[in-house]
Amino acid sequence: MQVSIACNVGGGGSGGAGEHPLKERRPVANTSGGPTCQSKVRAEPLNRSTLLGHAHMKEALGRHSNMKYRNLGKSGLRISCLGLGTWVTFGSQITDEMAERLLTVAYDSGVNLFDTAEVYASGRAETTLGNILKKKGWRRSSYVVTTKIYWGGQAETERGLSRKHIIEGLRGSLSRLQLDYVDIVFANRSDINSPMEEVVRAMTFVIDQGLAMYWGTSRWNAVEIMEAYSIARQFNLVPPVCEQAEYHYFQRDKVELHLPELYHKIGVGAMTWSPLACGLLTGKYNEGVPERSRAAMKGYSWLKERLCSEEGKKQLSKIKDLHLLADRMNCTLAQLAIAWCLRSEGVSSVLLGVSNTDQLLENLGSLRVLTQLTPPLVAEMDTLLGNKPRNPKKVVRS
């Protein structure tokens, strides 16, 4: 059994292979400062001719930056392959001034995707993000804001994916964000208490009302996503376009086995989070738990316990081996880990969680490392990790 020590918040009939999931359009009804890091590869101007395109998705460089952009699944929405997340940091771990600096550096570097949720810092993350966006005055059409709905409050009706909470929860998020709409609203986990048809109809309603442009899922399994898609097709509703999933060296099965199949069948893309597994993959925990690290924060004793577990010790040992590979490539462990996520089929964007600008610039430098991830090098990493998922459907019996 595979054990991950990454973060877990909150407590997680199809068309043909060539069919575009948004081909059928519905008529519109009337009725989203910590310690510094020394980066070996910085987010410097690159030679554009050296950047390789993604093998599975339409990809292009920005006109005024070296950021790379991909379609969100098979939708027409173009998002930066690196996005800025707000979990743990905005409204909690970092000051509002640092949050503004991070957002500014990210935007100036070509990042156009900003992710948040109603549950992050009890809504303060959305408030902080909204205040910064209002202050900066950037064109609303130049960036993408996503938020997630599920945990909105303590009352029974303020949680889950009922029609009531999806609509009221999203309106609450928009109020905190000071926006007229979000580009993508995610269902922040599945809800056994809400019928799938009710969820899909409510998501379609908020899109028809102009409160969101698209909707997606977060921590849903492939069966649940396919059920939502089938209901949308059956009743001429709007299907989900994206799944938010945890993805890193030690959490691979879902993104590498299940989501690519959904991408090819129904066009659902992957927006992944926790590429550094709460900092594990940066090497910061190789010699223990630093005083100002996430594992040392109040409320994260579970992370410290996992680091000290037998599985955690095995993972830390593999990180030390990957450190030698990163040195050989003249990059940091963080850059290698993020680039490794970006190379995966169907991944539209990887969400970054940073607490200072040095970390952000270091992570943005992963774009240069991506061009060095040749098939032989990826195979070497798979051998080192020893956990490459295998699709039982493709196993040839002797």
pLDDT tens digits, one per residue of 98-125: 999 999 999 999 999 999 999 999 999 9
DSSP element (H, E) containing 296: none
Sign of CA dihedral 114, 115, 120, 126: positive
R_g over Cα of the chain: 20
181 catalytic, yes or no?
Answer: no
Which homologous superfamily does the CATH classification assign to the domain defined by 69-283+333-375? Answer: NADP-dependent oxidoreductase domain (3.20.20.100)
Q: Where are the domains of the chain?
A: 69-283+333-375
Q: Where are the beta strands (DSSP E) in 72-154?
A: 78-80, 82-85, 113-115, 144-149
Q: How far apart are CA 236 and CA 258, in angstroms?
A: 25
Tell the burial category of 222 from Cβ atoms under 10 Å away from its Cβ (0-12, 13-18, 19+).
Answer: middle
Residue 249 corresponds to which tokens in the numbers above?
A: 């060296």
Report how far apart, in Å, the C-alpha atoms of 334 and of each of 228, 283, 303 are: 35, 8, 18
User: How many CB atoms lie under 10 A from the CB of residue 236?
Assistant: 11
For residue 147, what are the β-bridge partners?
185
Q: Note the pLDDT of residue 283.
A: 79
pTM to 2 decimals? Answer: 0.82
CB 194 within 8 A of CB 167: no
CB 292 within 8 A of CB 34: yes
Q: Note the pLDDT of residue 394.
A: 59
For residue 187, what are the β-bridge partners?
149, 217
Q: How far apart are CA 144 and CA 148, in angstroms?
A: 14
pLDDT-flagged residues of the chain (< 70):
1-57, 62-64, 285-304, 307, 392-398
Name the residue with tokens 């738990």.
289
Catalytic one among 120, 150, 229, 247?
A: 120
Q: Note the pLDDT of residue 267.
A: 96
Q: How far is CA 241 from the centre of its chain?
A: 14
